């Protein structure tokens, strides 16, 4: 059996590297299959995969350029980019097909894709990138690296999609009727009609359902626990965990717990009073089932005394004042500084450490143990004479886990505020920001509630999913509201504007919801608990967000029509959809020909 923190870290890295090719392959396979089912076009599938493949290559390059290592989180970025990147392509291609069916002009359709969807796509990518970028405010190097790499490459996805998709299609023949048939599928029409009918005629039922989700979420949220373990994310049947459990059963574990005693005086660690207090501390630690046998300078002194007397077991004990002069020098290994003392004392012999090994008991139990141990330490080592500190991997993990959770809660709050500010910039209306945020916060609360019901604890690997999911979920709201505002500006009545916006964006939202749900669900196949949580919780949150953005958001727009559809909303600080006249290619051609003819005539007159 092998165990210990260095061994666990090495094996974890090996497992991470082994899963990376599998998830990249799964992401490509799942998204390719869905693209074929949506568009019935090999051309669309390959074009979309080229875009996301370039982004994946860039992500590996970014990791290398910045000098980062492949961790459990950074290894998830390539398949994440595939899952997040394909919906970018879906929205652009869906808009292209929609425009082409409307007027039959391929170049005009591509121009409208860039003009009408380009800025909206930029904003949706920006909100998603913000969800990841907020991890950079944490004090964890792993999370900062993850946030930076993910946010940079998500924005690069936008650049690749908005450049390559129109270029690819401009060199291709116009789409055939079978390629655009996905816009007029009976089952999709029935779903759209059901959504529109529910929103337009049964809003009380929508709000009642949302209230039910809120109640369920709040009750479950009250049951959440903050619990994590050092090897929490390892697979239960892994050799690493099996060996660790063997050491825990037979030796009480391998996780270090250290008690550092500062005597505040040089040489104070070897005073008789200090050694006797250390022996009493060892006796106290021995009463805890979670701890192995302690080791300290007191044990080193006892071993040295026994060795001096030829290994006589009766001589195993602390040295007397008379024995100090001729036994203590042996602690230093006869002057070579490699004796037992070096493992327990600092160079001034003012500070000493008592070390025990313990099981990976989890943060809840660890906090209880430390709370019980603290007053016992104070009673043995008077704070006036000694400074006692508990440290070691077990304590550092406990404090670090609590600190990480608080950091991630702050990062989620920052994500909500930043995305809210971006929405304010887009829509120039505080009421519209609130109306947009509510349907996208309900899924977060619902997921937190289900975590409480399913006894999934709050820990760093589960709480980070909320910022990610929120940044992605709000994208659908931006597309819907952008189209809604365009319809208002074109003079449609409020009720009709909501209906038209819902009909046009519903198909794209459904497609992207399916891609994101199945794309994130594949992470459930991971051997790591953290990656499994990412797949389960994000896909669940996005599924709820799909319903809230298609049912709750338009229902809120209809219910607060006069308070929301203000002049400021219709004339925002930042346009996210081109609302002016489209480029008329034929008119440009005529005008260009006219100018050429005029210039030719003028030249003839001058020569004459």
Residue 603 has pLDDT above 50, yes or no: no
Number of domains in the chain: 2
Beta strands 255-262 and 351-358: pairing type?
A: antiparallel
**Residue 551 domain flag:** yes
- The confidence band for 599, taking pLDDT boundaries of 50, 70 and 90, is very low
CA dihedral 368, 372, 375, 377 (to 10 degrees): -100
Q: 387-391 and 255-262 as β-strands: parallel, antiparallel, unpaired? A: antiparallel
Structure confidence at residue 159 (pLDDT) = 92
Percentage with pLDDT > 90 across the chain: 12
Q: How much is the average pLDDT of 536-549?
A: 89
- The rounded distance, in Å, linking the Cα atoms of 515 and 79 is 13
278-325 tens-digit pLDDT = 999 999 988 888 888 888 888 888 888 888 888 888 888 888 888 887
Query: How far apart are the C-alpha atoms of 605 and 608, rounded to whole Å?
Result: 5
Give the model confidence (pLDDT) of 400-430 as tens digits: 777 777 777 888 888 888 888 877 777 777 7
Give the domain CATH number at 385. Answer: 3.30.70
Q: Are residues 221 and 91 in the same domain?
A: yes
- At residue 589, the pLDDT reads 43
Could you tell me if 171 and 28 lie in one domain? yes
Alpha helices, DSSP H only, in 171-185?
A: 177-180
CA-CA-CA-CA dihedral for 507, 509, 511, 512, to nearest 10: 160
Report yes or no on 495 lying in a domain: yes
| Lowest-confidence segment of 343-347, 381-385, 444-448 by average pLDDT | 343-347
Going by pLDDT thresholds of 50, 70 and 90, the confidence category of residue 205 is very high
Q: Would you say residue 154 has pLDDT above 50?
A: yes
Residue 563 reports pLDDT greater than 70? no
Q: Is residue 347 part of a domain?
A: yes
Q: Indicate if the pLDDT at residue 161 is higher than 50.
A: yes
Which has more confidence, 561 or 39? 39
pLDDT in tens, 38-97: 888 888 889 999 999 999 999 999 999 999 888 778 888 898 899 888 888 888 888 888
Q: Please determine, for residue 567, whether its predicted confidence score (pLDDT) is greater than 70.
A: no
Length of the chain: 608
More confident residue, 260 or 597: 260
223 shares its domain with 344: no
Would residue 349 count as lying in a domain? yes
Inform me whether the pLDDT recorded for 399 exceeds 90. no
Tell me what pLDDT residue 338 has: 55
pLDDT higher at 66 or 462: 66
Tell me: pLDDT of 363 over 90. Answer: no
> What is the separation of C-alpha 187 from the centre of its chain, rounded to a whole number of angstroms?
34
Q: What is the mean pLDDT of the chain?
A: 81
147 and 38 share a domain?
Answer: yes
Whether 602 is covered by a domain: the verdict is no
**Pair (406, 378) in one structural domain:** no
- Same domain, residue pair 201 and 75: yes
What share of the chain in percent tops pLDDT 70? 90
Within a domain: 150:
yes
Note whether residue 598 is domain-resident: no
CA distances 256 to 30, 49, 294, Å, are 44, 48, 11
43 and 114 in a single domain? The answer is yes
pLDDT digits (tens, 9 = 90+) for 123-150: 888 888 888 888 888 777 888 898 999 9
Q: Do 472 and 81 meet the contact criterion of CB atoms below 8 Å apart?
A: no
Distance between CA atoms of residues 479 and 335, nearest Å: 76
pLDDT for res 54: 93
Assess whether 408 and 386 both reside in one domain. no
pLDDT digit string, tens, across residues 173-192: 888 887 787 777 788 888 88
Beta strands in 325-386 (DSSP E): 351-358
**Do 221 and 466 meet the contact criterion of CB atoms below 8 Å apart?**
no
Residues 180 and 308 in one domain: no
Identify the pLDDT of residue 600: 47
Between 487 and 604, residue with greater pLDDT: 487
Tens of pLDDT, residues 231-241? 777 777 777 77
pLDDT at 87: 86
Please say whether the beta carbons of 440 and 207 come within 8 A.
no
| 22 and 61 inside one domain | yes
Contact, 516 vs 472, CB < 8 A?
yes
Please list, in sequence order, all residues whose beta carbon lies within 8 angstroms of the beta carbon of residue 374, skipping any fewer than 6 positions away: 390
Compute the distance between CA of residue 467 and CA of residue 473 in angstroms, rounded to an integer.
Answer: 10
Write the CATH number for 410.
1.20.1640.10
Query: Which long-range CB contacts under 8 A does 441-444 form with residues at least 24 apart?
Result: 441/416, 441/470, 442/210, 442/213, 442/214, 442/217, 442/544, 442/548, 442/552, 443/469, 443/473, 443/541, 443/542, 443/544, 443/545, 443/548, 444/469, 444/470, 444/541
In this prediction, residues 324-335 reach a mean pLDDT of 71
239 is a domain residue: no
Residues 9 and 105 in one domain: yes
Residues 551, 531 share a domain: yes
Compute the distance between CA of residue 464 and CA of residue 501 in angstroms, rounded to an integer.
32
Reading phi first (left if > 0) and then psi (alpha if -120 to 50, else beta), residue 392 is in left
As a dihedral over the C-alpha atoms of residue 5, residue 11, residue 14, residue 16, rounded to 10 degrees, the angle is -70
Q: Which residue has the higher pLDDT, 302 or 332?
A: 302
User: Which domain, by its residues, includes 171?
Assistant: 5-234+398-586
Between 161-165, 196-200, 396-400, 534-538, the lowest mean confidence (pLDDT) is in: 396-400
Q: With a cut of 80, say whether residue 26 has pLDDT above it.
A: yes
Structural contact between residues 63 and 149, judged by C-beta atoms closer than 8 angstroms: yes
């Amino acid at each position: 059996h092998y165990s210990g923190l260095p061994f666990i870290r090495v094996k974890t890295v090996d497992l991470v590297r082994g899963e990376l090719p599998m998830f990249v392959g799964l992401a490509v396979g799942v998204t390719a299959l869905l693209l074929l089912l949506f568009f019935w076009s090999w051309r669309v599938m390959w074009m979309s995969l080229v875009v996301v493949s370039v982004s994946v290559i860039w992500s590996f390059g970014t990791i290398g350029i910045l000098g980062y290592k492949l961790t459990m989180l950074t290894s998830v970025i390539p398949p994440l980019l595939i899952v997040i990147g394909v919906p970018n392509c879906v929205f652009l291609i869906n808009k292209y097909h929609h425009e082409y069916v409307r007027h039959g002009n391929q170049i005009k359709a591509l121009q409208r894709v860039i003009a009408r969807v380009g800025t909206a796509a930029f904003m949706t990518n920006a909100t998603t990138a913000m969800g990841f970028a907020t991890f950079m405010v944490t004090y964890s190097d792993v999370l900062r690296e993850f946030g930076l790499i993910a946010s940079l490459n998500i924005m690069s996805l936008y650049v690749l999609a908005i450049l390559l998709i129109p270029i690819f299609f401009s060199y291709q023949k116009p789409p055939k009727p079978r390629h655009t048939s996905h816009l007029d599928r009976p089952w999709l029409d029935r779903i759209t009609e059901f959504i529109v009918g529910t929103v337009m005629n049964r809003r009380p039922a929508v709000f009642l359902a949302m209230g039910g989700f809120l109640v369920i979420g709040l009750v479950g949220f009250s049951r959440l626990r903050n619990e994590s373990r050092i090897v929490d994310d390892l697979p239960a049947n892994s050799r690493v965990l099996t060996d660790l459990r063997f050491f825990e059963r037979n030796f009480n574990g391998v996780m270090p717990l250290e008690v550092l005693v500062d005597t505040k005086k040089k040489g104070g660690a070897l005073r008789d009073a200090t050694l006797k207090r250390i022996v009493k501390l060892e006796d106290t630690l021995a009463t805890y089932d979670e701890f192995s046998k302690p080791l300290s300078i007191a044990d080193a002194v006892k071993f040295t005394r026994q060795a001096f007397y030829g290994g006589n077991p009766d001589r195993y004990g602390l040295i007397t004042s008379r024995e100090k002069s001729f036994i203590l020098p042996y602690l230093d290994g006869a002057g070579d500084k490699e004796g037992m003392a070096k493992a327990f004392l600092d160079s001034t012999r003012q500070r000493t450490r008592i070390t025990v090994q313990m099981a990976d008991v989890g943060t809840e139990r660890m906090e209880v143990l430390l709370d019980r141990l603290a007053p016992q330490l104070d009673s043995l080592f008077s704070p006036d004479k000694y400074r006692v500190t508990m440290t070691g991997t077990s304590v550092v993990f406990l404090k670090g886990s609590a600190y990480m959770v608080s950091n991630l809660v702050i990062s989620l709050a920052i994500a909500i505020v930043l995305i809210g500010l971006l929405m304010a910039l887009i829509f120039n209306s505080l009421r519209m920001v609130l109306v947009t945020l509510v349907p996208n916060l309900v899924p977060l609360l619902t997921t937190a509630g289900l975590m409480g019901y399913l006894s999934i604890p709050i820990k760093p690997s589960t709480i980070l999913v909320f910022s990610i999911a929120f940044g992605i979920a709000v994208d659908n709201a931006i597309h819907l509201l952008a189209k809604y505002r365009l319809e208002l500006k074109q003079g449609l009545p409020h009720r009709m504007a909501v209906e038209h916006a819902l009909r046009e964006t519903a198909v794209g939202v459904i497609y992207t919801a399916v891609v994101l749900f199945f794309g994130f669900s594949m992470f459930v196949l991971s051997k790591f608990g953290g990656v499994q949580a990412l797949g389960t919780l994000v896909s669940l949150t996005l599924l709820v967000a799909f319903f809230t953005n298609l049912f709750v958001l338009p229902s809120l727009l209809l219910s607060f029509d006069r308070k929301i559809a203000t002049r400021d909303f219709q004339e925002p600080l930042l346009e996210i959809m081109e609302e002016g006249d489209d480029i008329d290619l034929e008119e440009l051609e005529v005008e260009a020909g006219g100018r050429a003819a005029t210039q030719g005539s003028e030249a003839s007159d001058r020569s004459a």
